[in-house]
Structure 1
Amino acid sequence: MRKVFSRNLDLTLILIAGYFLLAFVVRIVRSSALEIDETQQALLSQHLLLGYGSQPFLYTWLQHGVNVLVGPSIASLSLLKNGLLFLCCLFFWLTARLLLRDRTLANIATLGVLTMPTVFVMAQRDLTHTVLALSSVALFSYALFMTLKAPSVGGYLLTGLAIGIGAIAKYNFVFVPLAAVVAIAMDKELRQRLFDWRMLLTIGAAVALVLPHCLWVVNHFDIATTQTTREMRDISDSTTLYAVDGSLDLLLAFLKGVALPSAICAALYFGDIKAIFRASDQSTRLVGRIILFSMIFVLLMVLAMGITHMRQKWLAVYVLLWPLYLCLKVQAAGLSGERKLKPMLTSTFTLAIGFLGVLLARGLVSPHFERYSLVHIPYDGFAETLRHEGPFKPDYVIAFGGLAGGNLKIQFPDAMVVTTDTDIETIPALWPAGAVILLVDTKDDGESPEDFKDALASLAERVSLPAPTDIRHVNVPYGASGRSHTFYYSLETAQSN
C-alpha cells in the first residue's frame, strides 16, 4: 500500500473526496428532518439579502444558488456543505504542497484537517457559516504563501479576493489576515512584500467584495451584533472575574481544537518528539505566528468586550493551520513522512467514518431505544398526510418558528415559507387573490396544546390574514413504539381585496 501511495500521492486527495461523498449520502439517509443550522439555511436561502441577522450573506447566497440548480432539499444542503469542506481540504493540500518538500508530509497534513473535531464532528453534525470560513482560510493561505513564494499581480489579487470572501463568509475570519500581516512584518526577508505596490490590488479586491455588506452592517448594527454578543456573554456584566473566565474558556477551546491532531502526530513520531519540538525554520515561524497572533487578537476581543464564553467552533478558523504547522515542524527536524502515511490514513478515516456511523445510528437506530431528537420529528409524515387528502400544493406556508418553517420548506419546496421574522422577511400587506395558504404549528415535544386555535389565530393576525375557522390537527406516528407527533393547521385561500 505504501508503494501505491508513493507512486500516486494524489490518491489521498481522491480518498478525501470519497469521504465527503460518503458523508453526503449518509446525511440524506439518516434523517428526513433538519438540524438547527440547516433549518436556518432552508429558510434564509429563499431571500437574497446583504445580511442575515448576525451572519454575513455569502453562505446563504451559495445555498440559494444550489437550490436554484437542484431544488431545496436535504441533498442540496448537504451538497453545499460537503463540497465546501472538500474545497477546504483541496486548498489546504495545495498550500501544504507549497511549503512541504516531502509530498507525503503534505498529504499527512491534509489528512490532519479531517482529524479536527470541528471538521469531522461538528461540521457533519450541523455547521454552515463556519464551513465556508474554513474554506476561506484555506484559500487565503494558498494565495498568501503562493504570493510570498513567487510574487505576481495574480497572486496579490487572489489574496485580496480570498480576504473579501472570508470576511463575507464569517466575521471572525478577519483576524486571520490581520495576524498574517503581523507575522510577515516580523520576518526581515518577507517584510518587503507588504510594501509592494501590488498590495493596492489586494486591498482593492478585498474592499470591493466587503463594502456592500459593510454598508448593510452600518445600517443594521444592532441586528448584526446583538445575537453573537449575547451568546458570548452568558453571565452578568457585573462579574468582576469575566476576564479570567473568558481567557480560561478561550484557552480550553483552543486546546480542544488542537489536542487530537497533536496526539496523532505525537503517536506517529513518538521517538522524535523532542527534535520536532525544538525544530524551527522560516515556514514554521511564519505559520506559528499566524496562529499565535490570531489567538492574541481573539484574547484582546475577550478582554475588551467582556466575553465569558468561547465555543470551540468559533476558534476553528484560527487553528485550521495547526496540522500544517505540525508537519512543518516535522520537516524542520529533518524527518520524512513516507512510513507514516499508512497509519495516518488508518487513524484519520477510522475517526471520520466512525463518526458518520454514529450520526447514522443516531438517526436510524436510536428511536428503537426510545432516544429521540429534533431530527426525528415527522415533518415528512405530516406533508404526506396532507397530500393524501387530495392534490395539495400550497403557495405559502406560514409556520410558527424557524424549526418548523425550515423543515416545511423542504417538504413543500415550491412554496414561500414565512415565519414572521421581520428582520429577514417582507410580509405582504395584500396576499395574492386565490393563493393557497397553509398555516401550521407544532411543539418540539409533539404534544397538543390546549390553545392551538388561539395560537393559529395569533399567527394569522401577524401576517394580516383573517382568523382561520377550519382548524384541524393530525397525529403523525413515528419511531418504533407507537409514538405520535401532533401538528395543527389550517388551509386558507386568499380572497380578492
Structure 2
Amino acid sequence: MASDKWVEFVADYFVWFIAGYFILQTTIRYFASPVLGLDEAEQIIASQTFQLGYGPQPPLYTWLTILFFSVFGKGLFATAFLKNLLLFLGYLAVWLSARKAADKTLAAIGTASLIFLPQISWESQRALSHSVLMFACSAWTLYIFVLCIEKPNWWRALAFGEIVALGAMSKYNYFFLLAALLVSAGLIPKARKFLLSKYAICSALIVVVLLIPPAFWMFENQDLIYSRVHKFGLEKTERHFATGLVSLAAAVTQFVAVAVVLYAGAWISRFYWSGDEQVDQYVNEPIRLLITLIVVFGLTITAVSVFASGATVVKDRWLQPVLFLAPLAAALWIFSEVSMRQTKMLFGSAGALAVLICVLIPLNFVFGNFKKPSAHSLPSLAIVDTLSQYGVRSVLTTSHSLAGNVGDLRPEWSISIPEYSGLGIVYPMPIAVLWKGHSQDVPANLAALYEKLEGVPLPRAEVHREATPYLNWSEYPFDYSFIVIGGKSQSAEASR
C-alpha cells in the first residue's frame, strides 16, 4: 500500500519533480566549468547584435539569448538558465499532451521516459542549444494543436500560428514535425475538421506574417544559410543509393535504443510476475492515434527526404522533432494496462538515470572522455591574457569555442567566425586573426573573412605561436597561432 502511495505521489507532483531537476541542472552547469561549450560559445558570437538572421541557424535562440543576457547579465548563468528553462518547458508540454491522452500515471511514465533518450537527457544538457529550443517548440506545437482540435477558437488558432512560426525560427528540422503533424491530422476526422476550418486559415496567416522578415534575410544571405550543408555528406561523389537510409536507420536505433531496452524489460516482466494486477489506464484513442502517426509519418518523411536529397550522413540529434514522441507513443500502447511493479520499474529507472546524469555531466566537463579534454577545458583565460598584451580589440577565428569564450571573457571585444560574417558590427583595430595549431600560413577562410569584413586583403604579419595546457590537463597542450593587424606587435613582444 505504501508503494502505491509512493507511485501516486510521483504522478501527482510530477511537474514539480521535473522543475526541481532542471533547477539542479542549472546549478550544476554553472559550477561545473567556467568555460563555454561549443553551442554556448556560438551564442556569445551571435548575440553581439540583434538582427533578423545570423548564420546557418534560425535566429530565435539568439533572440532569446539576447533577452536573457539583458535580464541576467551576459555569461554562463544566463545561457544555462535559458537552456534548462526550455528543457523544462519541453517536458511540461509533453506532460500536458500526455494528460490529454491518458491518466496521470501513464502520462507520467511517457513523460519521464524522455530521460531514456540520450539526445534529450544527455546531449541537450552537455552541448546542444538550437535543438533544445526546437524540442520545446515541437512539444508545444503538439499540445496546442490538441487543444485546437479539442475545442477550436480564435485564441487557440492564434497560439497555434505563433508556435508554428516560433518552431520554424528554432531549427529547420522542426518542419519534419510540422509536416508529420499535418499529414497525421488529415487521417483523423476531428483533426481534419480543424485543418479545414476558418481557424486553421487564421493560424496560417499568423505564420506567414511572422516569417516574412526572417525569410527575406535568408534569401539575401544564402551563402551563410548553406555554410554547413557539408554535414549531410552531399558532396560525396561515390555512394550507394541506400547509404543515407542506412545512416538514418543507425541514427534512429541510437536515438531510441535505451528506451527500447528499458520498455522491453518492463513489458516482459508482466509474464515473469504473472500474478501482478494489471490496472487499466484511460486512453484517449484519437490523441493516441495522432501521436503514433506523427512518429510513423515523421520517420517516413525523413527517409524520403534523405533519399531524395542524396544525403549520406544522418545524425541522431536531427531526429529530435519526431522521435521525442516515440516513448510516449509506445507507452500509450504497451502500458495501457500497467502493473504497480512495472510503474515502479520505469519510475525507478528514470530516477536512477537522472541521478547518474547529474553526477556524470560535471565529470565530463572537467575530464572529457578521460582520454582527451572536452571543449569545457579550453584554456581561454590564458589565451585572452596573451592577446591582451598586444592591445587586441577584435578577434577573428575559425573556432566557435575560441571566439565565444574570448567574447565571454572580454565582452568589449568584437569577435567573428566565417559562418557569422554577416553580423552588423564594427571590428576595431588591433585585430587578432587566430587559429588552432602551428601552421605557418593563415587559413584561407580566415583571410577571406578578414577581407570581407575590412574590405582589403589580409596584410602580411608576424605569426605568433603559443601553447598552453588545457584546464585540468597539464600534459595536454592547446596549440594556437595568431597574427595581429593594426597593433604594435614588436613593442608588445619586447615587453613580454
Normalized against structure 2, the TM-score is what?
Answer: 0.83
Whole-angstrom CA distance in 1 between matches of 2:345 and 2:119: 22
Correspondence for 1:268: 266
CA contact (8 A) 1:400 1:459 kept: no
CA contact (8 A) 2:49 2:424 kept: no
Correspondence for 1:202: 203
Secondary structure at the aligned position of 2:415 is classed as strand
Deviation at 1:385, TM superposition (A): 6.5
CA contact (8 A) 2:19 2:88 kept: yes
CA contact (8 A) 1:461 1:467 kept: no
Correspondence for 2:62: 60
Correspondence for 1:354: 356
Whole-angstrom CA distance in 1 between matches of 2:248 and 2:285: 28
Deviation at 1:87, TM superposition (A): 0.7
Q: Which amino acid is 1:410 matched to?
A: D
* Segment of structure 1 superposing worse, 211-220 or 132-141: 211-220
The percent of aligned pairs where both chains have the same amino acid is 25
CA contact (8 A) 1:33 1:377 kept: yes
CA contact (8 A) 1:456 1:468 kept: no
Give the alignment partner of residue 328 of structure 1, picking from 332, 345, 357.
332
Secondary structure at the aligned position of 1:48 is classed as coil
Correspondence for 1:252: 250
Deviation at 1:491, TM superposition (A): 9.1
Deviation track 1:322-351 (CA, whole Å, cap 9, x = no partner) reads 1221222146x4x14655443323211322
Secondary structure at the aligned position of 1:131 is classed as helix
Deviation at 1:268, TM superposition (A): 2.2
Deviation track 1:436-470 (CA, whole Å, cap 9, x = no partner) reads 746263525xxx55679x99999977764996989
CA contact (8 A) 1:104 1:337 kept: no
Secondary structure at the aligned position of 2:11 is classed as coil
Deviation at 1:111, TM superposition (A): 0.6
Alignment of 1:287-306 (within 5 A): 287-306=291-310
CA contact (8 A) 1:394 1:412 kept: no
Whole-angstrom CA distance in 2 between matches of 1:93 and 1:160: 21
* Segment of structure 1 superposing worse, 454-463 or 32-41: 454-463
Whole-angstrom CA distance in 1 between matches of 2:231 and 2:404: 22
Deviation at 1:190, TM superposition (A): 3.6
Correspondence for 2:432: 439
Secondary structure at the aligned position of 2:436 is classed as coil
**Does the C-alpha gap of structure 1 residues 272 and 194 become closer, same or farther in structure 2, counting only changes over 3 Å?**
farther
Q: Are positions 1:233 and 2:233 aligned together?
A: yes
Whole-angstrom CA distance in 1 between matches of 2:159 and 2:127: 30
Q: Which amino acid is 1:411 matched to?
A: L
Correspondence for 1:105: 106
Whole-angstrom CA distance in 2 between matches of 1:439 and 1:477: 21
Secondary structure at the aligned position of 1:22 is classed as helix
Q: Which amino acid is 2:402 matched to?
A: A
CA contact (8 A) 1:237 1:306 kept: no
Deviation at 1:234, TM superposition (A): 5.3
Q: Which amino acid is 1:443 matched to?
A: K
Whole-angstrom CA distance in 2 between matches of 1:34 and 1:352: 23
**Does the C-alpha gap of structure 1 residues 32 and 426 become closer, same or farther in structure 2, counting only changes over 3 Å?**
same
CA contact (8 A) 1:468 1:490 kept: no
Whole-angstrom CA distance in 2 between matches of 1:484 and 1:251: 38
Secondary structure at the aligned position of 2:52 is classed as coil
Whole-angstrom CA distance in 2 between matches of 1:94 and 1:456: 48
CA contact (8 A) 2:387 2:432 kept: no
Correspondence for 1:192: 193
Correspondence for 2:288: 284
Whole-angstrom CA distance in 1 between matches of 2:304 and 2:446: 47
**Does the C-alpha gap of structure 1 residues 310 and 477 become closer, same or farther in structure 2, counting only changes over 3 Å?**
closer
Deviation at 1:299, TM superposition (A): 1.7
* Segment of structure 1 superposing worse, 39-48 or 374-383: 374-383
CA contact (8 A) 1:104 1:338 kept: no
Deviation at 1:145, TM superposition (A): 1.0
Deviation track 1:296-317 (CA, whole Å, cap 9, x = no partner) reads 2112211221111111111111
CA contact (8 A) 2:115 2:350 kept: yes
Secondary structure at the aligned position of 1:9 is classed as helix
Whole-angstrom CA distance in 1 between matches of 2:441 and 2:228: 30
Deviation track 1:269-295 (CA, whole Å, cap 9, x = no partner) reads 32559x99xx99433322111111112
Whole-angstrom CA distance in 2 between matches of 1:471 and 1:253: 42
Deviation at 1:412, TM superposition (A): 0.9
CA contact (8 A) 1:88 1:139 kept: yes
Correspondence for 1:144: 145
Deviation at 1:171, TM superposition (A): 1.3
Correspondence for 1:402: 400
CA contact (8 A) 1:456 1:489 kept: no
Correspondence for 1:116: 117
Whole-angstrom CA distance in 1 between matches of 2:473 and 2:172: 43
Deviation at 1:89, TM superposition (A): 0.5
Deviation at 1:422, TM superposition (A): 6.4
Deviation at 1:59, TM superposition (A): 0.9
Deviation at 1:166, TM superposition (A): 0.7
* Segment of structure 1 superposing worse, 69-78 or 397-406: 397-406
Normalized against structure 1, the TM-score is what?
Answer: 0.83
Deviation at 1:381, TM superposition (A): 3.1
Correspondence for 2:217: 216
**Does the C-alpha gap of structure 1 residues 481 and 105 become closer, same or farther in structure 2, counting only changes over 3 Å?**
same
**Does the C-alpha gap of structure 1 residues 141 and 462 become closer, same or farther in structure 2, counting only changes over 3 Å?**
closer
Whole-angstrom CA distance in 2 between matches of 1:309 and 1:164: 28
The alignment of Structure 1 onto Structure 2 pairs a total of residues equal to 474
Whole-angstrom CA distance in 1 between matches of 2:320 and 2:80: 20
Gaps of 5+ in 2: 272-277, 489-496
Secondary structure at the aligned position of 1:20 is classed as helix
Deviation at 1:91, TM superposition (A): 1.0
CA contact (8 A) 1:284 1:325 kept: yes
